[in-house]
Amino acid sequence: MAAARPKSFAEREITITRVFNAPRERVFKAWTDPKELAQWWGPKGFTNPVCEVDAKPGGALRIVMRAPDGGEYPMKGVFQEVVPPARLVFTNIALDGEGNHIIEGITTVIFEDQGGKTKLTLHTGGVATVDYAAAYLNGTEAGWTQSIDKLQALLS
């Protein structure tokens, strides 16, 4: 008999599409180079004192976002697909201070060439595994939109 899936408190899925005035190799690098990723990942005002990226299938992703108030929000993931410069698929797991999973999800990023520009399509979803993480999921779209805005600024 299969184990029952743990009760989830909330689920969220979003898709964001944006066109960047940069070649897709450049946009892909901004997602896979830890120095670049640290400059734009997270909502406006957040920094990333820890940003580790091993962009290969099975490779790890580890980021600690620091909010303007000093609060830290760690996450980890594992790359499932890395197809330069066209596609990234990785798990995204938000952690509490003790390393327990509070949100579990998966993110797919597609990079399409559009005559020297790049159409980026991000699809991400997550499931809260603790009740208080449901509030974080409500901010998913705003957080990713602000991150993509910061990426746009980095690439311009």
Residue 75 lies in a domain: yes
Which residue is it, tokens 């990713």?
144
In a domain, 44, yes or no: yes
The pLDDT value given to residue 154: 97
C-alpha triplet 90, 18, 134: angle, nearest 5°: 50
Confidence of residue 53 (pLDDT cuts 50, 70, 90): very high
List helix spans (H) across the chain. Answer: 24-32, 34-40, 133-138, 140-155
4 domain residue, yes or no: no
Peptide bond into 49 cis (omega under 30): no
Distance CA 46, CA 64 (A): 10
Tell me the pLDDT of the chain averaged across its residues: 94
Residue 12 has pLDDT above 80, yes or no: yes
pLDDT in tens, 122-143: 999 999 999 999 999 999 999 9
Total domains present in the chain: 1
pLDDT of residue 40: 98
Residue 91's pLDDT band, with cuts at 50, 70 and 90, is: very high
Q: Is residue 1 part of a domain?
A: no
| Domain interval for residue 100 | 10-155
pLDDT the model gives residue 34 = 98
CATH number at residue 132: 3.30.530.20
Residue 2 located in a structural domain: no
Give the residue from 43, 51, 34, 33 showing the smallest Cα distance to 71.
Answer: 43
Q: Is the pLDDT of residue 6 over 80?
A: no
Whole-prediction pTM value?
A: 0.92
Q: What pLDDT is stored for residue 8 in this prediction?
A: 56
Burial of 131 (0-12, 13-18, 19+ CB in 10 A): exposed
Q: DSSP string covering 3-37, please?
A: PPPPPPSEEEEEEEEEEESS-HHHHHHHHH-HHHH
Report if residue 85 sits inside a domain: yes
